[in-house]
Amino acid sequence: MKNYKKGCILIIGQLRFHLLNKIFFENHKNDFDFFAVIDSNSEEKLDDLSFIKEFFIVEKNLKELKDQKKLLKIKDGHKLLQWQKLKIGYRLIEKYIKKNNIEYENFFKIRSDILYKNEMLHNLKINNNYFYMNTDYCFGSMYKNFSIVSNFYIEAQKDFYNNFKFFNLNLSNLDLCDIEAARFFWLKYPYEIICNPQPPKNLQELTTRIIKNKNLITKAETNKFKIYCARKNWENIIFPSEPSFLHFLLNKNFIIKRLFSNKKMIIKRN
């Protein structure tokens, strides 16, 4: 018989202000197993997180270190590092599952430099294609979707990196999505559809046009249209990580919902 747990929580990136989230960790460590994929400069801080089941340090694995160095040599390649770590984290957790005969209901990815305060994950009712997120800072879904999401690391390099052409965008579930949960305004839309008869004057007007034309946008042919994007200087961004991840999720038919109640996640910096 498998050991059932509510879910697993994967911490990615540097361990910056993890001690400020002590309440959040305490509230979740009984029902959720914690894992971490970090860089070597955070290794000593793992002692503060003794409840972590397994961890992975990128610099101590020759293959992943080699891949990391390749990414750091290309423009905007550092933005791909979190997706490399997500892929590593998925494999790490899968090994732990097989070794310990565990079944997780959900998975979540978080950062240690966000203040979660009294936020709780226990009461989320996640349906098959519901994806809860606060942009790409933190997100989660049913565990069976983890393998799909972890593959964004591969698809990001193949489809989204250095791609300035319009390609299919599935908005068929838009009416069920929480637009404030992710960077919907930074997506690349067909210019001829969104800017008819003229470009939107503000984000409110852009929202109205997106919703009104969601079916036309979903049916738009790849590479046929010019691009409209409300993000400043979007033409100079080789890899727009947040909207690319959202684009990927929408095309996988996920329904986007807000994970944590705070609309603007508070990020602590050194």
> Of 3 and 191, which is predicted with more confidence?
191
Is position 11 within any domain?
A: yes
Residues 97 and 229 in one domain: no
Contacts of 47 (CB under 8 A, 6+ apart): none
Residues 100 and 170 in one domain: no
Confidence band, pLDDT 50/70/90 cuts, at residue 115: confident
Q: List Cα–Cα distances, 157 to 127, 151, 217, in angstroms.
A: 29, 10, 24
- Average pLDDT of every residue of the chain: 92
Residues 143 and 100 in one domain: yes
Q: By CB neighbour count within 10 A (0-12 exposed, 13-18 middle, 19+ buried), where does 191 fall?
A: middle
* pLDDT single digits (tens) 123-179: 788 888 999 999 999 999 999 999 999 999 999 999 999 999 999 999 999 999 999
Query: What pLDDT is recorded for position 265?
Result: 58
Query: What pLDDT is recorded for position 221?
Result: 83
* pLDDT single digits (tens) 2-58: 787 889 999 998 888 888 888 999 999 999 999 999 999 999 999 999 999 999 999
At residue 116, does pLDDT exceed 70?
yes
Residues 133 and 14 in one domain: yes
Helix (H) or strand (E) holding 181: none
Is position 227 within any domain?
A: yes
Query: What pLDDT is recorded for position 213?
Result: 96
Residues 143 and 168 in one domain: no
**Average of per-residue pLDDT across 82-111:** 96
Residues 140 and 211 in one domain: no
Residues 39 and 167 in one domain: no
Q: What is the dihedral of CA 113, 115, 118, 124, to 10 degrees?
A: -60
Q: Which of 97, 131, 157 is the last residue of a domain?
A: 157
Place of tokens 């698809």: 155
Residues 143 and 183 in one domain: no
Is position 254 within any domain?
A: no
Helix (H) or strand (E) holding 217: helix 214-219
Structural domain boundaries enclosing 121: 3-157
